[in-house]
Amino acid sequence: MKISKLSPAVGILTLCAGFVSLRAQDNPAQAAARVALEEKMQMAAPPTAGTTTPPVQTPQEVHILVDSSGSVTQEPAVSVPTNQIATPPAAPTIAVPMATPGTPDNEAQATAREALLQQMNQPPAETPVPAKPASAATANDSGKQAGYAPIVAPALPISASQQLRLGTLLNLYKADKITPAAYQRQRAEILAEP
């Protein structure tokens, strides 16, 4: 059987072709996003030895506008000096959309807002703490408090004298006064009696 010398070369070429990636031209929005990402990555890169760290830049808010023709433009919302260190806000703020003065609320919105404001102004209701059982006896009686009937064990099929003799035999076995074989033999004799 002959093995072709061409098949390893074809395999290597296939692997190399898999590593080569081709990329199409970016549209303007993709190019702007790529540039912004590269800038962020350069700011986040750890400084190398012997270099000084650049001043901390605060993020700027940018408004992205899309015209009816589909062109995308970016405008900075607030101009923030980039060479000053900004302190982070103490607590996050949540923007709540409010009705503009020209558009009054409908009745449902007004009543919902009033109910929400009343609920926010009320102090929180205290939840009662469940009482813990005072002793083990009260913990065992919890079934009686819930209204359940106690479970009664069925009567044993042996007489009271047999129960007494089996108990005595078990105590002797636990005290190692009789062997296991003797215990089993005497137990079988007691249970075999009528």
Q: What is the pLDDT along the chain (194 residues), one digit of tens a residue?
A: 566 777 777 777 777 666 655 567 778 888 899 899 888 888 877 656 555 655 555 555 666 666 666 666 666 665 555 555 656 556 555 555 555 555 666 888 889 888 888 888 887 777 666 666 555 555 556 666 777 888 888 888 888 899 999 999 999 999 999 999 999 999 999 999 87
pLDDT at 26: 79
Burial class (CB in 10 A: 0-12, 13-18, 19+), 44: exposed
Residue 67 domain-assigned (yes or no): no
CA–CA distance from 7 to each of 3, 11, 15, 178 (Å)?
Answer: 8, 6, 12, 84
Residue 59 lies in a domain: no
At 1 the pLDDT is 59
* Three-class HEC string of the chain: CCCCCHHHHHHHHHHHHHHCCCCCCCCHHHHHHHHHHHHHHHHHCCCCCCCCCCCCCCCCCEEEEECCCCCEEEEECCCCCCCCCCCCCCCCCCCCCCCCCCCCCCHHHHHHHHHHHHHHHCCCCCCCCCCCCCCHHHHHCHHHHCCCCCCCCCCCCCCHHHHHHHHHHHHHHHCCCCCHHHHHHHHHHHHHCC
Q: Does residue 187 form part of some domain?
A: yes
| Residue 167 in domain | yes
Question: Residue 64 falls within a domain, yes or no?
Answer: no
Gap between the Cα atoms of 74 and 65, Å rounded: 6
Q: Cβ distance 163 to 156 under 8 Å?
A: yes
**Residue span of the structural domain in which 171 resides:** 160-192
Q: Is residue 125 part of a domain?
A: no
At residue 59, the pLDDT reads 56
pLDDT, position 191: 92
pLDDT at position 123 is: 78
Rounded to an integer, what distance in angstroms lies between the CA atom of residue 105 and that of residue 29?
39
Q: Is residue 186 part of a domain?
A: yes
Max CA separation in the chain (angstroms): 105
The verdict on residue 76 lying in a domain is no
Q: What is the pTM of this model?
A: 0.25
**Contact present, 59 and 77 (Cβ < 8 Å):** no
The total domain count for the chain is 1
- pLDDT for 87 equals 61
